[in-house]
Amino acid sequence: MPRYQISHRTSYEYGSPVVQSNHLLHLAPREFDHQRVMRHNLIIEPAPAWRSERVDYFGNPITLISVEDEHSELSVNALSEIEVKAAQQPNFSRSGAWESVAQQMPSNVAQFACASQLAAPTPALHEFARPSYPNGAPNLEGARALMERIFREFRFDNTTTDVSTPVEQVLAQKSGVCQDFAHLMIGSIRSLGLPARYMSGYILTHPPEGQIKLEGSDASHAWVSVWDPAAGWVDFDPTNNLVNSPEHIAIAYGRDFADVSPISGILLGGGKHSVSVAVDVIPVADKQTR
C-alpha cells in the first residue's frame, strides 16, 4: 500500500508584536477505512502555553493552542506519515436513480444535503447541475458527469479567486482553484437535494518529465465526497478528474472549507501580517532512496 510522509509548514510574520494568539488547527489526519495514520507530530514556535487535542463535531482531530509569549513570527509545522489503500471503484451504472437518494439518507448524511456558508445551493447551480442528472440517471453517473464537466469547462487559475469568492462568481467566470471547484460541485449537488461533503487534504504531485520535484512545491488540496445508498461515500476530484484515487490523502471533512480551515484564530496585536505555506508529499520509498 502507498505510504506518504507529509510536511505542512505555515509561517506568519507580523507587522507589530502579537501579545497573545489563540488558534484552532485542522492539521492532524483522521483515520478512514482506506487510510491509516502511522504517526503525526506538530511543532509550534514559539511553544504554546496551553495545548489541547480534541475531536470536532464531524469527528476530525483538532488542536487548540494559546501562545502567550510576545512574538513577531509564528511557525506551525505538521509532520505526518500516512498509509493509503486504494478504495474500490464503484459500479457507476448500478447506482440507483438520483431522485431516490433523498428518501434513503440517514440523518448523519442528510446534514450534508443542507446549505452551508460557502456551498449553498442556488437556482443558478441547479441549472448548471441538471444536465449531468437527467431523469432516472444513476446517482454516481450523475456525479461523475458533473465532475468531468467542471474539469473540462473550468480553468485552474489562482489569481481570480480568494477564500471569500462566492460560488456563483466561480460559475460565471469559469475559473478558480481546487477549493472553488469543490464548493461549486458540492453546491450543485445540494441544489438537487443530494448530499456531498468537502474533503480537505493533499494530493501527490508529479514534476514534469525529466525534472526533480522541488521541496515545498506541493499544496493543500480539496475535493468532494458524494454519498450513495449502495456504495457509501465516494471521492470525486473535479480539479483532476479522478475518482477514489490512492494519491489523495485526507485530513478532514466538513460541509465546506469553513469547517476544516487548516489554521484559524484570534490575535491580540500583530497589525498587518504575511503568511507563507510550504507542503511536501513524499512517497516513503522515494524518501528512502534520496
Same fold, 3-85+261-288 and 92-260: no
pLDDT value of position 158:
92
Give the pLDDT confidence score for residue 215 in this predicted structure. Answer: 59
Distant-in-sequence, close-in-space partners of 67: CB < 8 Å, separation ≥ 6 = 18, 20, 21, 22, 23, 44, 46, 47, 48, 49, 74
In DSSP terms, 198 is beta-bridged to 224, 254
- Dihedral angle computed from the Cα positions of residues 178, 265, 57 and 63, in that order, rounded to the nearest 10 degrees: 100
d(CA 201, CA 198) in angstroms, rounded, equals 10
Give pLDDT, residue 217: 55
pLDDT of 88: 82
Give the model's pLDDT for residue 202.
96
- Report the candidate in 73, 98, 72 with the shortest Cα–Cα distance to residue 16: 72
What is the arrangement of strands in the sheet containing 248-254, beginning at the earlier edge strand?
Answer: 242-243, 232-237, 220-228, 196-203, 248-254
pTM over 0.85: yes
pLDDT tens, position by position, 147-188: 999 999 999 999 999 988 999 999 999 999 999 999 999 999
Question: pLDDT value at position 6?
Answer: 96
Domain boundaries, the chain: 3-85+261-288, 92-260
Architecture of domain 92-260: Roll (3.10)
Distances (CA, A) of 288 to 6, 40, 231, 282: 14, 19, 36, 10
Show the low-confidence residues of the chain (pLDDT under 70): 208-217, 286-290
Q: Which fold has domain 3-85+261-288?
A: Immunoglobulin-like (2.60.40)
